[in-house]
């Protein structure tokens, strides 16, 4: 009986060791995963109230990825337009900031894609100017964050307006989405153009959810990608494996549900899939 019990004890210890190796514990000895993010983009990444407590879907997913990797996470507030340069320079390990995986950006970094989102147009409730898409903004003033895919799309739409003999779209820009939104809230622009999940969140939360709405449907849907420096294949593979495990164990879907973002689920963890969405 004693030898049988000892064998069981050894087996249990081996099983425990295997379980620990399959799901590495986060320890202070492990190198932190430095993640750059423009923390001004609710519900993806934002500060809770007036505090400096970061929250949001990207932040929660980053914590889950860090846990899967066995590494503590440093989520650093970074200017959006500096994120790719900081990844390239090694100032941060990855960028995770609702960043659209576009053809131009793929020339600079690699992307691990994790969510699908288009753009949306936030307007006053009732949509008094009957705005439903970018082409309907000719001659109007809108606001948006500089350096985003929305800026590029609105600039192209404005050129189309003038080529048709219509008034251009006047663009009020700011370095963050929060700052651009202030133009809209102050009545200086007719619409706030941003990512569709952000526009939807603002419509639901600003002034009790009764003062604003999203005009029409989302447009130009592309994946959000986690930016990794080109040449760092090891880190890209590690994060891809971590994301796959977070998807497989149900954490990913739980976080999508928590932030009311299930419509943007992307469960395959592809690399550089953004070009498939662009014509």
Q: Does any domain span residue 143?
A: yes
Q: Write down the pTM of the prediction.
A: 0.82
Pair 99, 225: CB distance under 8 Å: yes
Tell me the pLDDT of the chain averaged across its residues.
90
Check residue 125 and give its pLDDT. Answer: 96
Q: Does any domain span residue 129?
A: yes
Same domain, 91 and 166: no
- The rounded distance, in Å, linking the Cα atoms of 83 and 229 is 11
pLDDT at 17 > cutoff 90: no
Give the per-residue SS3 of 61-80: HHHHHHHHHCCCEEEEECCH
pLDDT at 173 > cutoff 80: yes
As a whole number, mean pLDDT of residues 211-232 equals 95
Check residue 50 and give its pLDDT. Answer: 84
% of the chain surpassing 90 pLDDT: 83
As a whole number, mean pLDDT of residues 80-91 equals 97
Check residue 26 and give its pLDDT. Answer: 55
pLDDT at 230 > cutoff 90: yes
As a whole number, mean pLDDT of residues 234-260 equals 97
As a whole number, mean pLDDT of residues 207-219 equals 93
Pair 57, 114: CB distance under 8 Å: no
Same domain, 108 and 143: no
Same domain, 140 and 215: yes
Q: Does any domain span residue 72?
A: yes
Check residue 14 and give its pLDDT. Answer: 39
CB count in 10 Å sphere of residue 134: 24
As a whole number, mean pLDDT of residues 128-133 equals 93
**Nearest of 106, 122, 147 to residue 203 by alpha carbon:** 122
Query: What CATH number should be reported for the domain holding residue 126?
Result: 3.40.190.10
Same domain, 145 and 179: yes
pLDDT at 5 > cutoff 90: no
As a whole number, mean pLDDT of residues 249-271 equals 95
Residue 264 belongs to domain spanning? 28-117+222-277
- The rounded distance, in Å, linking the Cα atoms of 272 and 65 is 19
pLDDT at 42 > cutoff 90: yes
Overall domain count for the chain: 2
Same domain, 82 and 143: no
Q: Does any domain span residue 49?
A: yes
- H-run or E-run covering 86: helix 83-89
Q: Does any domain span residue 141?
A: yes
150-173: burial string, b at 16+ Cβ within 10 Å, e else: bbebbeebbeebeeeeeebbebeb
Pair 97, 45: CB distance under 8 Å: yes
pLDDT at 10 > cutoff 50: no
Comparing 11 with 263, which gets the higher pLDDT?
263
Same domain, 206 and 122: yes
Same domain, 208 and 262: no
Check residue 278 and give its pLDDT. Answer: 74
As a whole number, mean pLDDT of residues 41-47 equals 96
Same domain, 144 and 208: yes
Pair 142, 192: CB distance under 8 Å: yes
Check residue 1 and give its pLDDT. Answer: 31
Q: Does any domain span residue 188?
A: yes
Comparing 141 with 13, which gets the higher pLDDT?
141
Same domain, 108 and 174: no
């Amino acid at each position: 009986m004693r030898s049988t019990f000892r064998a069981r004890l050894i087996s249990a210890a081996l099983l425990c060791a295997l379980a620990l190796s399959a799901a590495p514990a986060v320890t202070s000895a492990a190198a932190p995963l430095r993640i750059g993010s423009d923390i001004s983009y609710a519900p993806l990444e934002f500060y809770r109230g007036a505090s400096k407590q970061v929250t949001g879907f990207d932040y929660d997913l980053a914590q889950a990825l860090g846990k899967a990797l066995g590494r503590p996470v440093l989520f650093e507030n970074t200017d959006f337009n500096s994120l790719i340069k900081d990844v390239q320079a090694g100032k941060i390990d990855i960028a995770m900031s609702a960043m659209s995986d576009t053809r131009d950006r793929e020339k600079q970094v690699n992307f691990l894609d994790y969510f699908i989102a288009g753009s949306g147009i936030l307007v006053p409730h009732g949509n008094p100017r009957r705005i439903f898409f970018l082409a309907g903004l000719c001659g109007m003033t809108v606001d948006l964050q500089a350096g985003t895919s929305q800026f590029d799309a609105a600039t192209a739409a404005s050129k189309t307006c003038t080529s048709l003999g219509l008034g251009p779209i006047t663009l009020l820009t700011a370095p963050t989405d929060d700052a651009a939104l202030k133009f809209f809230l102050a009545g200086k622009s007719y619409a706030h153009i941003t990512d569709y999940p952000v526009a939807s969140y603002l419509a639901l939360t600003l002034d009790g959810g009764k003062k604003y709405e999203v005009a029409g449907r989302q447009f130009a849907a592309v994946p959000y990608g986690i930016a990794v420096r080109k040449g760092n294949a090891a880190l890209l593979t590690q994060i891809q494996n971590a994301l796959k495990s977070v998807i497989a164990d149900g954490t990913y879907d739980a976080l999508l549900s928590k932030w009311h973002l299930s419509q943007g689920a992307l469960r395959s963890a592809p690399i550089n899939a953004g070009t498939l969405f662009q014509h």
